[in-house]
Amino acid sequence: MGAGSTGSPADEGRGPVRVHEPVLLPESLRVMDLAPGMTVVDGTVGAGGHAAAFAAAISPEGTLVGLDRDAEILEHARSALQAVSSTGVRVVLRHASYAEVEKELAAAGLVGCDRVFLDLGVSSLQLDSPERGFSFMRDGPLDMRMDRRGVGPTAAEWLHEVAETDLEAALRDYGGERHARRVARAIVAARRRHRLERTGQLADVVVRALPPKARHGRIHAATRTFQAVRIAVNGELRELELGLEAARRALRPEGRLAVIAFHSAEDRVVKRFLRTDGFELRERKAIQASEDECRRNPRARSARLRWGVRRAG
């Protein structure tokens, strides 16, 4: 997640454009309001795009802690952050969920932090790797796990076991699929004939299940289903809830939490959380990408940045 180079998978079907630039970077730097010597946690460090800019802003003597569930993506962050490590900034990279921020700060010998940043979008680096199974653009195994350490089912395993009613709910709630019942019924019928193991198989089932008029549009017909399955397989909404609570505990008074969300359900969770007693939500309306950024990177269109300040006491 959050490779700092892309936005929403909902725009994947627009074509092979892969713009490796951090989404909403100037806006993120503004709301983070960084200064030399701060301790910053990038909980979804990804390829290190946002993190490199944050590290430069807290130089010298600052500390950047980068976390990610995806061990493979961390290697990209390591490369991106090599240059800034020579400027006096301490860089700590950990293969961990942002819900584990307190444990990882303690492991690094740190007590609390000044800023926490989360970029919840799936990475173009993940989408561009067929073996990860996030994309239907190139055929690959139905994996979709952010963390491939063997924890939790693959997308193929989840689709083989999930009840039809639960699948329908996931497609509707996580993917915004208007034809969730039809698609769920088609997937269950297909898995009775043969196990769904490949991204191409799933995409084909989805497209055939939809009414003819729904098979062609601004995005690929399977986009919403792939998004929904990914969110369900990785428990992303529950992970977000746990991560926000962990950030509350880790942040020092007057510390800032900034979150970029690409899905309406995620955005609602963030907005609700930042209105709790422990935080003061800043800027009532979510910050969105400029027209110029959206032209350069269509996935930025669905990005929503919200931020708040940890209240003292």
Supply the pLDDT for residue 15.
41
In CATH terms, is domain 139-233 a member of 1.10.150.170?
A: yes
Of 12-21, 26-35, 62-71, 200-209, the poorest mean pLDDT is in 12-21
Q: Which two tokens stand for residue 164?
A: 């039809």
Beta bridge partners of 251: 113
Using one digit for the tens of pLDDT, what is the confidence trace for 250-260?
Answer: 999 999 999 99
Angle at 12 between CA 8 and CA 14, to 5 degrees: 125
312 has a pLDDT exceeding 80? yes
Beta bridge partners of 115: 40, 256
Supply the pLDDT for residue 177.
96
Closest CA to 23 of 298, 310, 311: 298
Supply the pLDDT for residue 13.
42
CB atoms under 10 Å from CB of 61, counted, come to 12
- CA dist 105 and 299 (Å) reads 32
Measured in degrees and rounded to the nearest 5, phi and psi for residue 225 equal: -65, -45
Per-residue confidence band for 84, with pLDDT thresholds at 50, 70 and 90? confident
Supply the pLDDT for residue 2.
56
92 has a pLDDT exceeding 90? yes
CATH of domain 9-124+236-310: 3.40.50.150
Q: Residue 60: is the preceding peptide bond cis (ω within 30°)?
A: yes
Using one digit for the tens of pLDDT, what is the confidence trace for 216-266?
Answer: 888 899 999 999 999 999 999 999 999 999 999 999 999 999 999 999 999
Between 272 and 85, the higher pLDDT residue: 272
Domain(s) labelled CATH 1.10.150.170 in the chain stretch across: 139-233
Supply the pLDDT for residue 26.
97
CB 250 within 8 A of CB 104: no
How many residues make up the chain in this entry? 313
- CA dist 144 and 165 (Å) reads 21
CB 242 within 8 A of CB 99: yes
CB 100 within 8 A of CB 242: no
Supply the pLDDT for residue 151.
72
In the chain the beta strands, taken as DSSP E runs, fall at 39-42, 63-68, 90-95, 113-119, 251-261, 279-287, 304-310
Domain(s) labelled CATH 3.40.50.150 in the chain stretch across: 9-124+236-310
Element (H, E) at 181: helix 180-193
Using one digit for the tens of pLDDT, what is the confidence trace for 141-162?
Answer: 999 999 887 678 999 999 999 9
Supply the pLDDT for residue 123.
83
Between 205 and 137, the higher pLDDT residue: 205
